[in-house]
């Protein structure tokens, strides 16, 4: 079941659901709008010849902070990591879905490639966005702009091992800012 605006507001007021900072106008009929943060991780194409998920080089990406009043320009075919301005916290019986804004999708902006799911138990971390420009012109991304939306779904029962449980090896607990892939923490197949 997808939560309605009234239920979202109630859970926010109770503190069971966390979206901080938040303005009342961000709550939509069945979602919460999220805004773009001011930090991005970009690939160093000029020094890296390949990406190996099991052997991620420390110099594969560099962080770019956008000054107040400036925009980040995402060129056609470019892929970068961004972040939500908001930190999110979910109880053990809710999951969230990250979706793009229709108006931005119509301009060619995609905000996630595959990581559109936020697990139950996610603890007060920002959401890393996988930003792609599939348009034929550059797109200006302004920190603070509404970049996406979160819809919330109830589980049939609270998760027995929510995100961050010691048995899971959760890699992104409490992340702040855009966080690069931690795939190298997985065991390589033999």
- The CATH code of the domain that includes 77 is 2.70.40.10
Total domains in the fold of the chain: 1
What is the residue-averaged pLDDT of the chain?
A: 93
Task: Report pTM.
Answer: 0.92
Q: Is residue 26 part of a domain?
A: yes
* Residues paired with 152 in a beta bridge: 96
pLDDT (0 to 100) of residue 34:
98
Q: Is residue 56 part of a domain?
A: no
Q: Please state, in angstroms and as integers, the Cα–Cα distance from residue 96 to each residue in 1, 45, 117, 178, following that order.
A: 11, 33, 6, 18
Is residue 64 very low, low, confident or very high in pLDDT (cuts 50, 70, 90)?
very high
Q: Is residue 52 part of a domain?
A: no
Range of the domain at 121: 5-45+61-158
Check the annotation: does 183 bind a ligand: no
Q: Is residue 70 part of a domain?
A: yes
Q: Is residue 51 part of a domain?
A: no
Check the annotation: does 149 bind a ligand: yes
Q: How many residues does the chain have?
A: 190
Check the annotation: does 106 bind a ligand: yes
pLDDT at 96 over 80: yes
Residues acting as catalytic residues? 130
Q: Is residue 181 part of a domain?
A: no
Check the annotation: does 190 bind a ligand: no
* Residues paired with 75 in a beta bridge: none
pLDDT (0 to 100) of residue 120:
96
């Amino acid at each position: 079941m997808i939560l309605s605006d009234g239920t979202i507001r109630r859970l926010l007021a109770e503190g069971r659901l966390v979206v901080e900072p938040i303005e009342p106008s961000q709550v939509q009929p069945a979602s919460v709008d999220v805004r773009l943060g001011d930090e991005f991780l970009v690939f160093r194409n000029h020094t890296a010849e390949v990406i190996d998920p099991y052997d991620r080089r420390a110099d594969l990406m560099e962080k770019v902070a956008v000054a107040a009043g400036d925009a980040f320009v995402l060129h056609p075919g470019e892929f970068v990591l961004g972040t939500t301005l908001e930190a999110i916290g979910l109880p053990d019986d809710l999951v969230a879905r990250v979706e793009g804004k229709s108006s931005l999708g119509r301009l060619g902006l995609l905000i996630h490639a595959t990581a559109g799911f936020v697990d139950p138990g996610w603890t007060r971390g920002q959401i890393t966005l996988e930003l792609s420009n599939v348009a034929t012109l550059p797109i200006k991304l302004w920190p603070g702009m509404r970049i996406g939306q979160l819809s919330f779904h109830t589980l049939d029962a609270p998760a027995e091992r929510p995100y961050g449980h010691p048995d899971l090896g959760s890699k992104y607990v409490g992340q702040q800012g855009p966080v690069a892939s931690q795939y190298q923490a997985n065991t390589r197949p033999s």
